Chains A and B, each alone.
Chain A
């Protein structure tokens, strides 16, 4: 741990003010709470919202896991983990089950989260209505009045043009039957994992200065029509390493001729599965 900075970089007052926003967010599931986001030593857009949320809740006994695209060893995940090691000196892990605090970008781990765990999402744009209405003044009104019909217009158009809803990631959800929320750019494959999750889910958007949350066991429903129900994508492939047939697979191009193979995006999940089957794991 380096000296010259407070535990978890932010001073205690700032951390407290972030925690106050977090409490508000937990009390109103899915509602965006403005918070006084600070400049962090990493760029806005690179996870500063998640980093500030993590910094506000992390304690010395926490065990931290950081993933980006599902993997623990992508540069950005490594970099954020390195930062918290530097400014907190807490224990870190790659194992989903061993972590008390998980910061993520773009994925929810395949291994189901447990009660007592906190997952922190990095959020680039928190406003689900942004592409429909660019004015924040107006979108705030729309949320307050649960005026969400225009979002369904977009879904209607998708079905009309393509036969189904054409949103692959950052697929909007209704939280607790009240607020429309962006789940951050996770693939819609991960949406069902948010529903009634035993873990506390916190969302931080640093550049946009918003925090929101889904408390444990809260309903999270992906938008759909009764006759066009929400569905997740399926692969007709299996993971090259662990043989998983039900995890989110990354497509890897392995030759100039365009040959491809498919592997689990969640490296820890893949690793654990490989170990249990005595296969050679991908993160070796």
Chain B
């Protein structure tokens, strides 16, 4: 019997995993990385993984980096997949970024601002020279650190707002919503601690599952009977919805924020959904998009209004308690970009803003986010949507690296059914083409001769079967 390569098999998969683990560990003579080393010394990597993995937990992020062999996108994916299994107990209060333990705060639009500017730890003014002394690994630099500034510090943007030069209050409340959902990400790490309780409940859950499945199947059958009627109803409603989509009359501030981790993104998207998407977006993608706006693909004259980096408290207010409890302190980066806006028929000339917020110290990402956020406001501001960064469907649908890496890499999966179908089609098309152009050519092509002689014909095969 000829060789047929259809065997994939469990052993191959297991062997691949073992090999990967060995390679990842590298030379056993070299001491193994500890999670502390990663959280302490590769901290910006940890921050990126927490931000795009949308789970604030430096230790788990460090674990993911270690497990992923240093591949940050893979680490982000690991963290996201883990996040799926965490139940949610509370929604946090909006983060109050005025009450921030600031480590860094700069504004590029005023020489001095109330509360002052602080450079903090930054590569900005460091000469990028390879430091060969680091090869000796004996460094323990001591830095002068200012006393943490716990006093409330108003945003630079407030100065413009007081003068009425900045976009409306409704916009501000949306940003609050974005901060709130960032708080929720952080809240979920607290959920880990409830795991034990979940485990205990598991047995009864399993029983419930069986019942639930049965119940579902029962109702599926019932639902089928009503299918026709339901379809008609839905068509009615769908038609209605499309005919008039009135502007939501709900007060912006009262609206529950969209929750990207619990609801599918639907387009067109409101700004809260957009900001959440951007906050989890791939840094490289956002950077490229942001850069494109600066190079003229949707330019909106940005100024770095304020960049702040520091710690904020995450508060929850359980109804059963009736007061707020701080469950964590997380570090974040917040960016407010100021953009020129010439005004339109209803709005006077003023400044608009782009907003960026990331978990951890992620300044490049937060700035990119703010630029793209502003570009995506084109439709609300009545600007032409003419460039990729302004196209909400384009940006939001392609920004997530967990989605993107999966779909790009799925091309490694077998596609031989599709390909076979395509192969048959191309052969058929060529056949038709040939018949049409050279009607009665007798001479068969080489391939045909070979196939014809080597392979059993249908008739032969039938004969053999009969034997």
Contact = CB atoms under 8 A, between A and B. Distances in A.
A and B touch in the complex (CB under 8 A): yes
Interface of A: 3-16, 19, 22-23, 26-29, 31, 34-41, 43-46, 48, 57-62, 68-71, 73-79, 82, 105-107, 124, 134-137, 141, 143-145, 162-164, 166, 168-170, 176, 178, 185-189, 200, 207, 209-210, 215-216, 218, 233, 235-238, 240, 243, 245, 248-252, 254, 257-263, 265, 267, 277, 280, 282-283
A170 B417 CA distance: 11
Contacts of B261: 36
Given A248-B417, A258-B450, A267-B6, A7 B425 contact: no
B9 interface: yes
Chain A facing B: main interface SS: loop
B393 A7 contact: no
A137 B417 contact: no
A73 B227 contact: no
Given A45-B409, A144-B239, A59 B422 contact: no
A186 B13 CA distance: 25
A215 B224 contact: yes
Nearest to A144: B238
Contacts of B264: 34-37, 209-210
A82 B13 contact: yes
Contact of A75 (B8, B219, B220, B423): B8
A78 B6 contact: no
B87 interface: yes
Given A22-B216, A233-B428, A44 B402 contact: yes
Contacts of A187: 417-418, 420-421
Contacts of B214: 59
Given A6-B85, A243-B461, A260-B455, A162 B432 contact: yes
Interface string B196-231: 001100100110111011101101100110111011
Contacts of A16: 212
B267 A136 contact: yes
Interface stretch (B76-84, B317-325, B331-339): B76-84
A169 B409 CA distance: 20
A106 B7 CA distance: 17
A252 B4 CA distance: 7
Contact of A38 (B84, B408, B415): B84
A141 B239 CA distance: 9
B393 A252 contact: no
B410 A39 contact: no
A44 B420 contact: no
Contact of B417 (A34, A58, A69): A69
B231 A178 contact: yes
Nearest to B86: A11
Which of B1, B206, B214, B457 is packed against the most chain A CB atoms within 10 Å?
Answer: B206
